[in-house]
């Protein structure tokens, strides 16, 4: 069966890597500079991850002709002048003449493919340890082991110093001089600073190239600082009662993976829309202790609180995943993880980084289903009701209610089952050719409607017989014909971190009575 033409992006023309030296600035937004020849390098391979497990099996082939680039401004797009390389026949690529610094390596993923490796990169977690001045400690996100420690540039032993991390730069807000510092996350070296108008600033968050500063006076207003202009450009007011009253703690954080703000209030973590300030959801932490610091690394939320030297790690839904025990009681925290499929790494002078690899899986989908003779017309496949083999199902490409030449078809097997394979992501209308002498559905007063599906990459939507659900209807009044029945369950698709009903993009939404479809990944 041929693939349906669906919305796709035209691959960008690849360019080979330049021989000029490429120099990033550690701890700052990356910049492209032409200097003397550097001697560091990045090399890796792209392969076809046939089983989608994120690990290269012995028989999984290389992927050639794919463009890899250094994402200088970290905007997840290939821009003019950004260095590129093209994978060879064996899937390999390399960037030479690089200086020491932070790098973000991305690929232009081929049409109808998805990245299976890396699934996460650049995971880092920082916390403030009280002192005069405070210490900034980097922790292992799994064990809590100390990976690095350095002194903050200013501040006292109170709880009001702020910390944020945007994946490149560590931001620190001193509690005693209204100064916002830019720090190298690897050494703590001061890269720059801005003294703000006196305003009682405290906790920080970094999202979308902006820095969010909690106003510790009202604790309901967040100032937004633009590093490009080194100034506060706007204010975000917390909505729906978030921040009202004395219960708000000085704990603002970021969830870079979902572009949301995190906010602690008493023993609760609130998740906020960073554009509107509206709370989207929240969860209570264990034992009811007050939150002192909150930050997300990927889809895990790290919470420090007033109950001693540890950090509790939660899912976004509030399930306690693990507890990390420390030798000190942490205050403010900052975290980051890239879930976009990039490789993030820091090069030392002269370092040759290898195995900076990508795995891609062909992301085609399928639709499965079954037809049977609904002898009693109750919409449920009862014991003894026979399958209908040899019947035609089709994908109505132009949605005109008629099978036209060239539209994909499938013939039901001996058990009544059918399948459409190798489908790209997009909208589909599944129809059946109703056998003469049969009606498609139940006796009721609604118009018959087709099954409308929004397929996403690597989905296997199954429309199989079973109990429950609602059904699509036809006008059949008192007719007592045998019924040829197409049965489905509720179509589901993965949106963010929650399973939600599919809405098709044609304005039909979910057709009444379609029942349900299990979504399973191939």
In a domain, 16, yes or no: no
- In tens, the pLDDT along 313-369 reads 999 889 999 999 999 989 889 999 999 999 999 898 999 999 999 999 887 777 888
Spell out the long-range contacts of 387-391 with Cβ–Cβ below 8 A and sequence spacing 24 or more.
387/412, 387/414, 387/415, 387/416, 387/417, 388/412, 388/416, 388/435, 388/484, 389/413, 389/414, 389/415, 389/416, 391/416, 391/432, 391/433, 391/435, 391/484
Residues 162 and 204: beta-carbon distance below 8 Å: yes
Separation between Cα atoms, residue 248 and residue 238, nearest integer Å = 12
Cα–Cα nearest to 396, from 420, 379, 372, 425 = 420
In a domain, 67, yes or no: yes
What Rg, from alpha-carbon coordinates, does the chain have?
A: 28
Q: In terms of domains, do 319 and 427 share one?
A: no
Write down the pLDDT at residue 243: 45
In the predicted structure, residue 439 carries a pLDDT above the cut 60: no
Q: In terms of domains, do 196 and 302 share one?
A: yes
| Residue ranges making up the domain that contains 411 | 366-521
- In tens, the pLDDT along 455-500 reads 555 444 544 322 222 222 222 222 233 444 443 333 332 222 232 3
Q: In terms of domains, do 166 and 204 share one?
A: yes
- In tens, the pLDDT along 65-118 reads 999 999 988 889 999 999 999 999 999 999 999 998 889 999 999 988 889 999
Q: In terms of domains, do 92 and 216 share one?
A: no
The residue among 5 and 349 whose pLDDT is bigger is 349
Domain CATH number, residue 75: 2.60.40.10
In a domain, 157, yes or no: yes
Calculate mean pLDDT across residues 186-215: 88
Separation between Cα atoms, residue 212 and residue 493, nearest integer Å = 33
In a domain, 25, yes or no: no
Q: In terms of domains, do 427 and 495 share one?
A: yes
What's the pTM?
Answer: 0.64
Structure tokens at 193: 């600073």
Bridge-based pairing state of the strands 92-98 and 190-195: unpaired
Bridge partners (DSSP) of residue 325 are 310
In a domain, 89, yes or no: yes
Q: In terms of domains, do 77 and 156 share one?
A: no
Q: In terms of domains, do 447 and 406 share one?
A: yes
% of the chain beyond a pLDDT of 90: 35
Write down the pLDDT at residue 249: 57
Separation between Cα atoms, residue 472 and residue 474, nearest integer Å = 7
Q: In terms of domains, do 68 and 136 share one?
A: no
The whole-angstrom distance between residue 39's C-alpha and the CA centroid of its chain comes to 35
Q: In terms of domains, do 354 and 324 share one?
A: no
Q: Which helix (H) or strand (E) holds 193?
A: strand 190-195
In the predicted structure, residue 376 carries a pLDDT above the cut 90: no
Domain CATH number, residue 260: 2.120.10.30
- In tens, the pLDDT along 389-433 reads 898 888 888 888 889 999 999 998 998 888 888 777 777 888 888
In a domain, 515, yes or no: yes
Q: Which helix (H) or strand (E) holds 252?
A: strand 248-255
Q: In terms of domains, do 250 and 184 share one?
A: yes
Residues 335 and 302: beta-carbon distance below 8 Å: yes
Question: What domain count does the chain have?
Answer: 3
In a domain, 20, yes or no: no
Contacts of 407 (CB under 8 A, 6+ apart): 394, 395, 396, 397, 398
Structure tokens at 388: 């209908």
Write down the pLDDT at residue 140: 94
In the predicted structure, residue 506 carries a pLDDT above the cut 70: no
Q: In terms of domains, do 135 and 155 share one?
A: yes
Q: In terms of domains, do 351 and 377 share one?
A: no
In a domain, 28, yes or no: no
């Amino acid at each position: 069966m041929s693939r349906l033409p669906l919305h796709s992006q035209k691959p960008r023309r690849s360019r080979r890597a330049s021989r000029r030296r490429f120099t990033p600035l550690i701890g700052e937004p990356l910049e492209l500079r032409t200097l003397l020849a550097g001697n560091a390098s990045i090399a890796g391979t792209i392969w076809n991850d046939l089983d989608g497990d994120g690990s290269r099996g012995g028989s999984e082939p290389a992927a050639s002709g794919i463009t890899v680039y250094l994402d200088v401004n970290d905007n997840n797009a290939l821009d003019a002048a950004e260095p590129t390389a093209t994978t060879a026949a064996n899937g390999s690529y390399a960037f030479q003449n690089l200086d020491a610094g932070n790098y973000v390596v991305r690929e232009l993923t081929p049409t109808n493919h998805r990245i299976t490796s890396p699934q996460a990169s650049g995971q880092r977690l920082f916390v403030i340890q009280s002192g005069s001045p405070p210490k900034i400690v980097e922790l292992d996100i799994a064990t809590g082991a100390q990976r690095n420690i350095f002194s903050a540039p200013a501040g006292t032993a109170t709880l009001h110093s702020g910390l944020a991390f945007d994946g490149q730069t560590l931001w620190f807000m001193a509690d005693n001089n209204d100064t916002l510092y830019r720090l190298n996350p690897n050494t703590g070296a001061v890269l720059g600073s801005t003294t703000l108008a006196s305003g009682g600033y405290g906790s920080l968050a970094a999202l979308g190239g902006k820095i969010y500063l909690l106003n510790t006076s009202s604790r309901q207003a967040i100032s937004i600082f633009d590093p490009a202009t080194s100034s506060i450009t706007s204010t975000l007011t917390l909505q729906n009662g978030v921040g009202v009253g004395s219960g708000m703690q000085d704990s603002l954080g970021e969830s870079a993976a979902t572009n949301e703000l995190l906010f602690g209030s008493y023993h609760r973590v609130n998740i906020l829309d960073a554009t509107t300030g509206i709370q989207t959801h929240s969860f209570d932490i264990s034992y009811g202790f007050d939150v002192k610091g909150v930050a997300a690394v990927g889809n895990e939320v790290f919470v420090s609180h007033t109950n001693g030297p540890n950090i509790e790690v939660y899912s976004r839904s509030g399930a306690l995943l693990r507890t990390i025990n420390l030798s000190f009681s942490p205050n403010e925290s900052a975290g980051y993880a890239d879930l976009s499929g990039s490789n993030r790494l820091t090069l030392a002078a002269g370092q040759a980084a290898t195995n900076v690899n990508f795995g891609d899986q062909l992301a085609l989908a399928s639709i499965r289903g079954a037809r049977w003779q609904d002898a009693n017309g109750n919409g449920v496949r009862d014991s003894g009701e026979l399958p209908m083999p040899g019947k035609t199902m089709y994908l109505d490409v132009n949605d005109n209610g008629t099978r036209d030449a060239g539209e994909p078809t499938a013939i039901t097997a001996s058990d009544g089952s059918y399948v459409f394979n190798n489908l790209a992501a997009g909208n589909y209308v599944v129809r059946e050719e109703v056998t003469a002498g049969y009606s498609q559905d139940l006796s009721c007063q609604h118009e018959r409607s087709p099954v409308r599906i929004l397929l996403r990459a690597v989905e296997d939507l199954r429309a199989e017989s079973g109990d429950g659900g609602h059904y699509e209807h036809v006008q059949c009044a008192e007719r007592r014909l045998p019924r040829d029945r197409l049965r489905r369950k509720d179509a589901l698709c993965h949106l963010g971190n929650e399973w939600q009903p599919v809405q098709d993009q044609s304005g039909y939404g979910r057709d009444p009575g379609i029942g349900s479809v299990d979504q399973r990944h191939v």
